[in-house]
Each structure stands twice: as structure tokens, then as C-alpha cells.
Structure 1
Amino acid sequence: MSEPSPSEVFKALLKRDALKKMVNESLSGLSDNGRAAVLSSRGLCIAQTLARGTDKEQSDLARNLFIQEYELLDATRPDDEWAIKVKKEFMAFANYCIVSMPPDPSIEQQRAVWTEALRKWEKSIPVWEGIWATWLGTFPPLPEGTDPRKEFLATIG
């Protein structure tokens, strides 16, 4: 039996809603400021990848991940001024992408929407790309005796 492709694994995770649990668990030790930073940076990476997409199935899967992370970002309540601004700008970018995307878009339509959005928000991109430098100093330590792997496995068990 051959090993499943990344697309097959991704689809299986989506069907079980496990992908959202995995993303949420990976962010569980972060403050809302940190979550806003990570989700904005990752959303940008996904958008940049989708702007160059060549495979419709993989682009559809990545778009689903973008939307799931968008929902997680929307739920954050950052309290630092920089995190509030980053979230607000990134949400405007994401809203534009989501609303502009036609139903069941072709790969060309997807690339066009992502490319246009990245062009419109080009002044914000350096902020989203450089956010790690600002945020790294605010990462809270894990509580002593915590094993994130065991806790994660228990949530999807």
C-alpha cells in the first residue's frame, strides 16, 4: 500500500474537522496578541502561495485552510495597539479575498483574486512579514509539566 499524498491527508483532516483542532492546539499557548500575529503571518504565506497556484485541488484545500485560520483570527481579542492594527488590516485583506472569490473558482480566477488583493495591500505586507520580530518577545512560557503533544492527541482521540 502506498503512502497517501499530502492532498489526501489534508482532505481527510478537513472531513474530520481535525485540521481546525490542530491549528487551534498549535496556538493554545499564545496570548490573543500572539495568535493575531501568527495567524496574520500564516494567512499572508497562504495568500502568497495561492497567488502562484497551479493546481486547482491544492488551491481549494489551501483556501479552506485560509478560511479556517481567518475564523480563528476573527475570534481573537488582541489588546496591544500593534496587534489590533495588524488584525484589522489583515481582516480587511481576508474579507476582500473571500468576498471577491467567485463560487467554485477556476485556478486562474483564484490566482487573480489573490494577486489583486496582495497588490492592494502591498503596503501592509512588510508589516505582516516582519511581525515575528515584534511578537517574539511576548511569547509566554509553557506551564511546567505541560506536554502539548499529549494534550493535542487527547483532543483528537
Structure 2
Amino acid sequence: MTQSLPSVLFVCTGNICRSPTAHALLLHKAAALGLVVHTDSAAVTEEEIGNPPDRRALQELRRRGVPMPAHRARQVQARDFTQFDLVLGMTAAHVRALQRMAPAHATARIDLLMRYAEDENPIDVPDPWYGGPQDFIEAFDMIEAGVEGVLARRGRLPR
């Protein structure tokens, strides 16, 4: 029997670097464990709507053997707060923006991705868009730790 995970929406600023990376990683790692997951990614801003993932994020995913599903940047919508169990921001600023955006009838838990990392030390995942290849490597490593934490806690997550 195939297990399922709570549904997860990953959120960053423009939805072209960090959040699509987290989405791809969760799909990849869940599949490797025989788990089914409903996941997506979105932005708190309108800046990149319709754009594909950043080529540097795609390069890092490819380098690590993680496929990127078809993706175009989108902004968080009111329905996301009822269609997903978890809405995970990459930074505390994203979490605050999500809390302001959430409608009164929201059912999703809004949280910081890095709260799920093994060391449970809440920390922002820096935006690699402004940097070079090493910044994408470091962001990927942090996102991977958070995603692995989500998978490790799957039995204790909201549904």
C-alpha cells in the first residue's frame, strides 16, 4: 500500500529558485520512499509570474540528479490556504507575508521550512538569486535538510 504525505506548498519571493527547488526535492525524495505527495510552490510577490525556474537552480538540481517538474512561477492564492496542509516559507518575512495573505477560513499550517530541519534551529534560507553557484549549493543544502525533516516528521504533520 502506498502511503501519502500531508500536502505541502513551498513559498519564496519570486517562485523561481528556492520554492521550486523544494517542490522538486520533496517529489523526488517522497517517490524514492514510495510515498505519494501533493506539493507545489508559489511566490509572495508578482515579480516573476509566468517565468520558468532560474537556470542556476535547474543546474544544481540536474547536478544532483533531481528532476524538475514542469513549472512556471505563480503567486500564492487564497485557495492555497485550504488546499494544502502545510504552507512553508523560506524566510521569516515570507511567513509573515503568508499570515497576512491567509483568508479567515484558512486551514493550512503556515510555518518556516527550516523549523523542520534536523537541528530545528529556525533560520532563513537566503535567496541565491543575488549570488553565484556557491549560493545555490548552500541554499540547496538548506532546503534539502528542511525537506528531509518534513519527510521524517510525516506521521506528526497536520492533515
TM-score, normalized by the shorter chain, greater than 0.5: no
1 or 2 for the larger relative contact order (CA 8 Å, sep ≥6)? 1
> Whose radius of gyration is greater, 1 or 2?
1
**TM-score, length-scaled by structure 1:** 0.31
